[in-house]
Amino acid sequence: MSTWGGPVDVTLTGGRVVTPEGVLDRGWVAVRDGRITAVGRDSPPEGPTTDVGGGWVVPGFVDIHCHGGGGEAFTSADPERVRKAAAAHLQHGTTTMLASLVSRPVPELADQVSALAELVEDGVVAGIHLEGPFLSAARCGAHDPAILRPPERSAVDALLKAGRGTVRMVTVAPELEHSVDAIARLVDNGVLAAIGHTDATAAQIRPAVDAGASVATHLFNGMRPLHHREPGPIGALLDDDRVTVELICDLVHLHPTTVRLAARHAGAERTVLVTDAIAAAGAGDGVYDVGGLEVRVVDGVPTLAGGAALAGSTLTMDAAFRNAVVACGLDVVEAVRATATRPARLLGLADRTGELRAGLAADLVVLDADLRPQEVMSKGSWVKD
């Protein structure tokens, strides 16, 4: 999977173009030198054109929580295998992504971070997300509970140092010792602090958000359940306007009604769809290693071997987009905001990507009437298999 022939100068015409202001029927998007130069309706500018035949034209997807794909994981020390994982998702329209790592001992995790940092600098991925090891053993999911630990300053600093500025998000269980201090330190270093894999009460969530935590890692999953007398992390995070909530929209982790309720309450400014994909995404059923644990994928659903615990997903962002619209009842504009605009803003990339507007990178996806990708463009170049 690669870009094909370098940036093209072309105007895409005859589409339903989703802009920040809404949908332009018979819309067009002009691309020059890898960037969007203009967006409009009806009369396109002079020059080469490509008619998209009434398809949807949406911004390239931005995935802030992904562990791998195409049979490869971001834990690999081989850069070509990491590139293959990123390319598997690029084919499905993800033009920007964070590489997520699962819990490992801090020295091993630091080595993985250091290796990935070079690929961030090369533009293969937009940054690194550490989902662990600062998680609750009571809600560990597919993380090895023997590896989990509190976020002492020395551990946090070692991982940030290994990343050389490329660590963009770290998930923390706020009930752990040192967690509030760690969250404040992460935020002070320009890192998004996320709350996840937590058994915290609602009362324990508030100090973490006050310290700067601003993301809920896959809301509902890996968390103390919502209860009408103890809303726990789900209720506290969903109801706090300072927090953006991740939703895994594969229709396995969350029921469509749950997605709809959460998205409606959080609204367009706080809802982000993620894949939480493992190496099996785009690679099929089989047995995979996730953080040293054996994971079996059957009918596209990964679970820990010998148990029923979900272990990530095989989701791609185009499917998350499609599920949100078709199964969960979001409209296309809402789905665009949740899969591109909001995550780009969260990462501080709103001046580069996440919308179809002049001046931004020409990252876009052409979808057919069934919302399936027909073409993908990354920085003005068509993506080919």
Taking only the tens place, the pLDDT of each residue in 121-155 is 999 999 999 999 999 999 999 999 999 999 999 99
Q: Quick one: average pLDDT of 171-180?
A: 98
Average pLDDT, the chain: 96
Extract the tokens encoding 91. 């084919």
Choosing from 144, 276, 318, 363, the catalytic residue is 276
pLDDT digits (tens, 9 = 90+) for 191-234: 999 999 999 999 999 999 999 999 999 999 999 999 999 999 99
Q: Has 276 been annotated as catalytic? A: yes
Residue type, 241: D
- Look at residues 384, 280, 383, 346 and name the one whose alpha carbon lies nearest to residue 60: 383
Residue 2 has pLDDT above 80, yes or no: no
pLDDT of residue 3: 55
Question: Binning pLDDT at 50, 70 and 90, where does residue 265 land?
Answer: very high
Question: Binning pLDDT at 50, 70 and 90, where does residue 1 land?
Answer: very low
pLDDT of residue 356: 98
pLDDT of residue 5: 64
pLDDT of residue 278: 98
**pTM: predicted TM-score of the whole model, two decimal places:** 0.96
pLDDT digits (tens, 9 = 90+) for 12-68: 999 999 999 999 999 999 999 999 999 999 899 999 999 999 999 999 999 999 999
pLDDT digits (tens, 9 = 90+) for 79-108: 999 999 999 999 999 999 999 999 999 999
Residue 308 has pLDDT above 80, yes or no: yes
**Percent of the chain, pLDDT > 90?**
96
What's the gap between Cα 373 and its chain centre? Answer: 18
pLDDT of residue 6: 80
